């Protein structure tokens, strides 16, 4: 399995709308394994293909503490939603920031599984919020789109500054240790 690089806001590639998957094959299953590896390593509870610069409609989640509830959604579609509530959200592509977002607390989702078979499931609470957050990624949307422009701009500037600092660090020639 390979750990993939997660794109960070405001990388414009995060705004790409992902295309539907035509066939769930072994290549896609290997990619799904890489998504899980990357998500667990980053201590996330969900990861969408868009976040690793692969623009296919695939997302994975695991909201359990023990990493024993892995779920795969290929070509996911929300077919019903109800009872809007507020929950604090974070995102592996917006590291270090958490903001309140309103979303449906109960949803019914339809997708293809890892085996390519269609399924429908009901989700509530954290899992429901997580699935909606990840489907947003597949549509090129981020949770910061739901907060005030002032807050969003502040987060963007801080992350850009961190990204520049990291790029400078990487570009600096290494001095030989003596």
Among 32, 91, 109, 123, binds Zn ion (CB under 5 A): 91
Stretch that binds Zn ion, among 2-10, 83-91, 111-119, 149-157 (CB under 5 A): 83-91
How far is residue 148 CA from its own chain's centroid? 21
Task: Tell how many helices (H) and how many strands (E) occur in the chain.
Answer: 3, 5
Question: Minimal CA–CA distance to 123: which of 110, 109, 137?
Answer: 109
> From the CB of 93, what's the least distance to Zn ion, in Å?
5
> From the CB of 52, what's the least distance to Zn ion, in Å?
11
Which one of the listed residues 120, 134, 149, 160 is annotated catalytic?
Answer: 134
Q: Are 55 and 17 in contact (CB under 8 A)?
A: yes
Question: Which residue lies nearest Zn ion, judged by its C-beta?
Answer: 91
Size, binding site for Zn ion by CB under 5 A = 1
Cis ω for the linkage preceding 10 (within 30 of 0): yes
* Residue 159 makes contact with Zn ion by CB under 5 A: no
Query: Per the structure block, which two tokens stand in for 137?
Result: 């990624």
Query: Per the structure block, which two tokens stand in for 178?
Result: 């003596």
> From the CB of 51, what's the least distance to Zn ion, in Å?
6
Given the rule CB under 5 A, which residues bind Zn ion?
Answer: 91
């Amino acid at each position: 399995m390979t750990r993939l690089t997660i794109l960070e806001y405001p990388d414009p590639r995060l705004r790409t709308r992902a295309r539907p998957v035509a066939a769930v094959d072994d290549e896609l299953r290997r990619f799904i394994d890489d998504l899980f590896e990357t998500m667990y390593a980053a201590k996330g509870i969900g990861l969408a293909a868009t976040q690793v610069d692969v623009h296919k409609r695939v997302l994975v989640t695991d909201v359990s503490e023990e990493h024993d509830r892995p779920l795969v959604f290929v070509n996911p579609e929300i077919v019903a939603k109800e009872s809007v509530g507020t929950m604090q959200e974070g995102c592996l592509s917006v590291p270090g920031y958490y903001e309140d977002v309103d979303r449906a607390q109960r949803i019914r989702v339809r997708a293809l599984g890892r085996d390519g078979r269609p399924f429908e499931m009901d989700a509530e609470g954290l899992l429901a919020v997580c699935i909606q957050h990840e489907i947003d990624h597949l549509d090129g949307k981020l949770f910061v789109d739901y907060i005030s422009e002032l807050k969003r701009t502040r987060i963007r500037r801080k992350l850009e500054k961190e990204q520049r600092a990291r790029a400078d660090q990487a570009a600096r020639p290494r001095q030989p240790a003596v």
